[in-house]
Structure 1
Amino acid sequence: MNSSADASVDRRSRTGSPLEVLRIFLKLGLTCFGGPIAHIGYFRDEFVVRRKWIDEHAYADLVGLCQFLPGPASSQVGFSIGLMRAGYLGALAAWTGFTLPSAAALIVFAYGAGALTGPAGAGLLHGLKLTAVAIVAQAVWGMARNLCPDRERASIAAVAALILLLSTSSVVQIGAIVLGGLAGLWLCRSEAPAPSGHVEMPVSRGVGLIALAAFFILLAGLPVLRTLTGSTGVALFDAFYRSGALVFGGGHVVLPLLREAFVAPGWLSDDAFLAGYGAAQAVPGPLFTFAAYLGTVVAPEPHGLAGAALGLIGIFLPGILVLLGALPFWDAFRKRAGAQAMMRGVNAAVVGVLGAALYDPVWTTTVHAPRDFAIALVGFVLLVAWRAPPLVVVAFSAAAGVVMALI
């Protein structure tokens, strides 16, 4: 009897309310600067060290899962912690608290960006675009070192970049990622599989299969529905969903996907796109909240607040669905050598995708003069060599852009 009672008390000590989860993640959403790797560090300090909601081994295994899957890794980790603590409502509370602060800030920026006229306003927006050069260059640099450490994966990345740079087709990004996975199965089997571990989640295999089915049905069905209905709302949701579903290797990889989805069809300009991307570096929380800015300023309806809500739901939904689908099966799947080899190839390919995006559109539409290169170079050195927070680089680039516009 005592043993049963102790187990019951232990279970209660590891559960909480959705309101508790919302409060804690709202604080994190207001203070977590620095991108997904930094967010994972914040989460570890909050939930492993301070609150002891999850132990070190389980947390490491959870992070490994979320980095393996498509989608925003830090948001998926937060969603999973909320799920463990307070069930599905806790997961929703975690996502809401972590996402809303940065989304609200970017919506405010979207409404105010039109008021930035004159030389100073144009210089400020150009400085934000130069921030994107430094940030994306840092992402390519760091990801290449971690994900392409050998000649096989470096070659996969180079081929993926060449495919994108030499093609104008809208499907080449998907094709490059698929080819990267196939090349990984062939070339990247030498490493040992990931270490074993276990994460307890209140997700049954039935719910997991339903979530996976929904993920693939939406991925395949939304383009068909878009064609049949001609609805701009469906077209926007499809663009956000497809971008969120194909992001491997970090939030910055969403940049070329979103540009292809929104700038290529003429829904907004490259200048507006890159200015918003630069502003997204200045706010805490997940980079995927860039979708709130895009949904606000995009030309087709719905835009404004309705477009922002559509963008947030559309871009985060695929990562949540694939996470729910993977949780019940992760332990068995992650030990397969073929799965690990495929993901090594996919991760190498996304380095190439992001490298191609660094050149076009980020570099070609932003760096027009030696002083532009100088500002971007200083920002890059601040990030890589001095480990400066992105907020510092945003402030420097924006101020430098204003100064250069006025002199």
Structure 2
Amino acid sequence: MSQTRNFKALFEILIVAARLGLTSFGGPVAHLGYFHEEYVRRRKWMDERTYADLVALCQFLPGPASSQVGIGVGVIRGGILGGILAFIGFTLPSVIALIVFALFIQGFDVSNAGWIQGLKIVAVAVVAHAILGMAQKLTPDLQRKTLALMALVITLLWQTAWTQVAVILIAGFIGYLIYKQHQEEKGETLTFPISKRFGTICLVLFFGLLIVLPIARELTAIDWIAMFDSFYRSGSLVFGGGHVVLPLLEREFVPTGWLSEEAFLAGYGATQAVPGPLFTFAAYIGAVSGGWTGGLLATLAIFLPAFLLVLGTLPFWNALRANPKIKGALLGVNAAVVGILISAFYHPIWTSSIKAPMDFALAAVLFSMLVYWKLPPWVVVLSGALGGMLIGVL
């Protein structure tokens, strides 16, 4: 009887997550709103305090915050298998859509298509919106504004993936020095169905892969290992959500010739049109580079760090969140992320998209549709594609 009840609970997790994966447009912040409505208010799987604490944990970690919250909800509801099913349900719809899109555009010359130019201009509006929102939240004082400026200048002048890693580490250390006495209201303790031993294994595996994969890449020169390493590293180093993964992925795959800048930005625009997590952009890149198997491999690689970190930190969260030194370091890191995002906004997004006054005019209209008129992202994406085609005709 208990096995039947267990199966029904797991099946319910999968179905509910899949429905959210098919309908959750609008990016990470919107996803958290959808999750709250479904998991807290409608189904009462957890109370307000538990949900708020889970969101706080996932904001604290690198990786896709909304996906990590979904995994955490699944773990609390149905153990580790529940977390896996919640992830599959929420992620798979957009993964399939983006793999199909990638395979579709491979048969066409996308570099000169008007609708592709329109999608690139959509990326300008979306990232500009993300920058404004993140800057207001993550750089409220002069010290953090200065850290963001430092990150912007350094990553703009020295454009490598390792530069970004170094900037994040330096910003974390400076944040630790400045904000180590930073105090916030203390929340209630949480309990999770994962042992500290299992959590430790997950954390060791997370850091172990981060070290071993680049070494294996250099020693073997096998394409799929190189791809897995690039996506795993990008998924491990992204603080601030899906929009911030853009510069890391662009500098991993465009200069090396895995795909063109046009194809990269076309996929980024298309990602705004589908529901679910923005990290599924990796499925598009993987499919362009290596077919549908490449898309699935890329998806696994970029989300694996999120899984390992959530499962690894849940048992230790109560101690971590009480440590002001760790919180101080994260305040510095989050400020640097704003600078990295502005750097990516200039190159490659602005430099490859805004080439004429008409392009800028369309970007301004799309930005207004998104920010002021509050239209759904899919409407903005379709408008951008149509606008790009119209500019191409004119």
Q: Same fold (TM over 0.5)?
A: yes
Offset of residue 356 of structure 1? 0.4
Offset of residue 377 of structure 1? 1.3
Offset of residue 322 of structure 1? 1.0
Supply the distance in 2 between the matched residues of 1:125 and 1:182 (Cα, whole angstroms): 41
Q: What residue is the counterpart of 1:289 in the other structure?
A: 280
Q: 1:223 aligns with which of 197, 214, 217?
A: 214
Q: Which amino acid in 2 is paired with 1:205?
A: K
Q: Which amino acid in 2 is paired with 1:396?
A: S
Query: Is the contact between residue 155 and residue 164 of structure 2 (CA under 8 Å) also seen in structure 1?
Result: yes
Q: What residue is the counterpart of 1:3 in the other structure?
A: none
Change (3 A) 1:371 1:152: same
Which has the larger helix fraction?
2
**Paired residues for 1:1-400 under 5 Å:** 17-116=9-108, 122-189=113-180, 191-298=182-289, 303-400=290-387
Supply the distance in 2 between the matched residues of 1:405 and 1:359 (Cα, whole angstroms): 23
Offset of residue 189 of structure 1? 4.0
Query: Is the contact between residue 354 and residue 360 of structure 2 (CA under 8 Å) also seen in structure 1?
Result: yes
Question: Which string of whole-angstrom CA distances, capped at 9 and with x for unpartnered residues, describes residues 63-82 of structure 1?
Answer: 00001101101001111111
Query: Is the contact between residue 110 and residue 116 of structure 2 (CA under 8 Å) also seen in structure 1?
Result: no
Supply the distance in 2 between the matched residues of 1:87 and 1:122 (Cα, whole angstroms): 47
Query: Is the contact between residue 153 and residue 188 of structure 1 (CA under 8 Å) also seen in structure 2?
Result: no
Query: Is the contact between residue 164 and residue 172 of structure 1 (CA under 8 Å) also seen in structure 2?
Result: yes
Supply the distance in 1 between the matched residues of 2:275 and 2:110 (Cα, whole angstroms): 28
Classify the secondary structure of the residue corresponding to 1:265.
coil
Offset of residue 118 of structure 1? 8.7
Query: Is the contact between residue 176 and residue 332 of structure 2 (CA under 8 Å) also seen in structure 1?
Result: yes
TM norm structure 2: 0.96
Supply the distance in 2 between the matched residues of 1:203 and 1:376 (Cα, whole angstroms): 47
Query: Is the contact between residue 216 and residue 225 of structure 2 (CA under 8 Å) also seen in structure 1?
Result: yes
Change (3 A) 1:191 1:385: farther
Q: Which amino acid in 2 is paired with 1:136?
A: V
Supply the distance in 2 between the matched residues of 1:142 and 1:150 (Cα, whole angstroms): 15
Supply the distance in 2 between the matched residues of 1:373 and 1:188 (Cα, whole angstroms): 40
Supply the distance in 1 between the matched residues of 2:114 and 2:160 (Cα, whole angstroms): 33
Change (3 A) 1:14 1:182: farther
Aligned residues: 392
Supply the distance in 2 between the matched residues of 1:286 and 1:185 (Cα, whole angstroms): 30
Query: Is the contact between residue 280 and residue 287 of structure 1 (CA under 8 Å) also seen in structure 2?
Result: yes
Offset of residue 228 of structure 1? 1.3
Supply the distance in 2 between the matched residues of 1:386 and 1:254 (Cα, whole angstroms): 27
Supply the distance in 1 between the matched residues of 2:190 and 2:148 (Cα, whole angstroms): 32
Supply the distance in 2 between the matched residues of 1:268 and 1:186 (Cα, whole angstroms): 41
Supply the distance in 2 between the matched residues of 1:381 and 1:366 (Cα, whole angstroms): 18
Of the structure 1 ranges 373-382 and 40-49, higher mean CA displacement relative to structure 2 is found in 373-382
Supply the distance in 2 between the matched residues of 1:184 and 1:379 (Cα, whole angstroms): 35
Query: Is the contact between residue 58 and residue 199 of structure 1 (CA under 8 Å) also seen in structure 2?
Result: yes
Classify the secondary structure of the residue corresponding to 2:391.
helix
Fraction of identical pairs, as percent: 51
Question: Which string of whole-angstrom CA distances, capped at 9 and with x for unpartnered residues, describes residues 115-171 of structure 1?
Answer: 45599x700111111111111111111000000011010000000000011113431
Supply the distance in 2 between the matched residues of 1:188 and 1:260 (Cα, whole angstroms): 31
Offset of residue 401 of structure 1? 0.3
Of the structure 1 ranges 382-391 and 90-99, higher mean CA displacement relative to structure 2 is found in 382-391
Query: Is the contact between residue 16 and residue 85 of structure 1 (CA under 8 Å) also seen in structure 2?
Result: no
**CA RMSD for the aligned pairs?**
1.8
Supply the distance in 2 between the matched residues of 1:50 and 1:334 (Cα, whole angstroms): 28
Supply the distance in 2 between the matched residues of 1:236 and 1:390 (Cα, whole angstroms): 29
Supply the distance in 1 between the matched residues of 2:212 and 2:110 (Cα, whole angstroms): 45
Supply the distance in 1 between the matched residues of 2:110 and 2:44 (Cα, whole angstroms): 52
Supply the distance in 2 between the matched residues of 1:291 and 1:272 (Cα, whole angstroms): 13
Supply the distance in 1 between the matched residues of 2:57 and 2:221 (Cα, whole angstroms): 37
Supply the distance in 1 between the matched residues of 2:41 and 2:191 (Cα, whole angstroms): 19
Question: Which string of whole-angstrom CA distances, capped at 9 and with x for unpartnered residues, describes residues 167-202 of structure 1?
Answer: 134310101111111111122346423532233211
TM norm structure 1: 0.93
Supply the distance in 2 between the matched residues of 1:52 and 1:268 (Cα, whole angstroms): 45
Offset of residue 114 of structure 1? 3.2
Supply the distance in 2 between the matched residues of 1:221 and 1:151 (Cα, whole angstroms): 39
Q: Which amino acid in 2 is paired with 1:226?
A: R
Change (3 A) 1:349 1:53: same
Change (3 A) 1:118 1:201: closer
Of the structure 1 ranges 347-356 and 189-198, higher mean CA displacement relative to structure 2 is found in 189-198
Supply the distance in 1 between the matched residues of 2:153 and 2:74 (Cα, whole angstroms): 41
